Structure 1
Amino acid sequence: MVAGATQRPARPVAGGSNYPRRATSEVEPAAVAPTIIKLGGELLETPARLRGLARALAAIAAREPLVVVHGGGREVAAEMARLGIAKRAVDGLRITDAATLEVVAGVLAGRVNTRLVAALGVAGARAVGLTGADARLAPVRRERRYRSADGQSVDLGYVGRPVGEGPPTLLTDLLAAGYTPVVASLSAAAAGQVLNVNADTLAGDLAARIKARRLLIAGSTAGVLDEAGKTIPALDDAGVDTLIRGGQASAGMVAKLLACRAARAGGAGEVAILDARRPRQGMFEQAVGTKLAGRPMTGGAGNDDIDGSN
């Protein structure tokens, strides 16, 4: 599905990268690698915040190729509670039985993805709603046994681990044509079984495979926090290991840290975990958060909220 066709598609680059080119001071413009932004589902629940995020994302998409990956954990949890299905998770990864999978698929691919694509269309982006199963852009293998951060072996149920190699053709084609792919965190195994995929893990995998210029994991915390609750401006691999092994990182943060590390190892450029609770112009450049590659983040919250809300 395509929403809000308001700008002319960029032509594929002949004889080189298939990503759009952005004008620079050089005579010959340089190809621009995509930015991947993962949005926590909690950011997409209220209309005002959704509108603000959509405007900020559309501004990025107007000047560079952009891929958006999203979760929807709180809405999934609310729907499960309504249906009387208990939630279980380890290291931020949802343990997914058959009943849970039905809820996850309906909420993520149906409700959340459609709502986000529609908002981006209104904001001027040429958004296309996808899952990892579309054209096998993010093939996965069922993660039957998972070794948790505390060393336990856990059966995650219908949960997939990304196994794709090389740039996903569907994403590169859409980006070359000027579209903004919006990917819900679901995919399918080789035999066609639909599987739940952690959204952070999916974003990290795509960032590595597509050699993203930036991977920004946007959520509702001010990056990675130390024991005093203050933002850690930068972390290297050793610091990540210390946080995970020492039990200082929350379950949800473990998944984010591992995704960032995978993206770095795969060749992504800037990698950061940032606070996106206050949508505003330039929010993804100025946000408070933690860099895992590139310069430490020093931005502040600012007061130029797009949606005018607190």
Structure 2
Amino acid sequence: MAEKSWLTDIPEMDRSSLLQLRKTMDGAYRDFSREYGDSIEAFFDPLLTFLIWFEKLLLNSPWWLVLGVIAGLAYAASRSAKLTIGVAVSLVVVGYFGMWDDTMRTMSIITVCTLISIVLGIPIGIAMARSNRVQSTVTPMLDIMQTMPAFVYLIPVVMLLGIGRIPGVIAVVIYAIPPVIRLTNLGIRLVDKEVLEAATAYGANPRQRLLGVQLPLAMPTIMAGINQTINQTIMMALAMVVIASMIGVKGLGQPVLKSITNQYFTIGLLNGLAIVVLAIIFDRVSQAYGKRTQAHLGGGHE
């Protein structure tokens, strides 16, 4: 005898209720999308405008100028001539194989996602550190953001905003922002209470304690969070390039997707290697900068 499905153990009335609940939720989301979709798109228009502008800036600027700026930033962050030369040579090789434009598109998305994660994450982390209620509310949300698969929260975003760059940016930021929030909160909470009491005794108000005592002392931990956020943003953005290409985001992911659907081995291999090169460049530079900054803020020596 065939085994019964566990669904058969659910009373018919309960199954009807579950089906009705799903239909109600689907209908509510469709109504919400129709009612507020245009307003939400308008809210993200400035971000889309900036993203398009930055992408065009990288694409329209002379390659040698972009290469020089990236190499200069790499040296400023790492103070390593070997790493800087490696970054320059890697990008020259990427350009030589005809992948410069797609690499610049992907780099623009990575940069914007990193900036958004830092700009939003630090204030949220500060709010969590100053209020246990905020912390208890935000922490479960961060847990969900870090564990939920990207496809799950990409579906409602695409349904709401359509295909394009913004859904891809939102998906990356959702995954990448938790570290900077958590470590900003942790860094501020770990500040010695005696130091805060001394600041209060000298007449410092809450704002002065935050800006003059807590944030400077918590900066090494915050920088660790920012560095981890940069790394997660980079890894997530590069992992998402193929998924994002399915919803219209241009970059290195589209040739990879094309190679998968049409069995173009060389195109997929070269663009996959370009993704790896980009990941290594950002990872090594951000790690070097993070180590230097933490050593400086922690009173160490470079």
- TM-score bin, normalised by smaller chain: under 0.3
Whichever of the two has the greater Rg, that structure is 2
More strand as a share of residues:
1
Comparing both structures, which one devotes a greater share of its residues to helix? 2
TM-score (norm 2): 0.26
Tell me the TM-score normalised to structure 1 length: 0.25
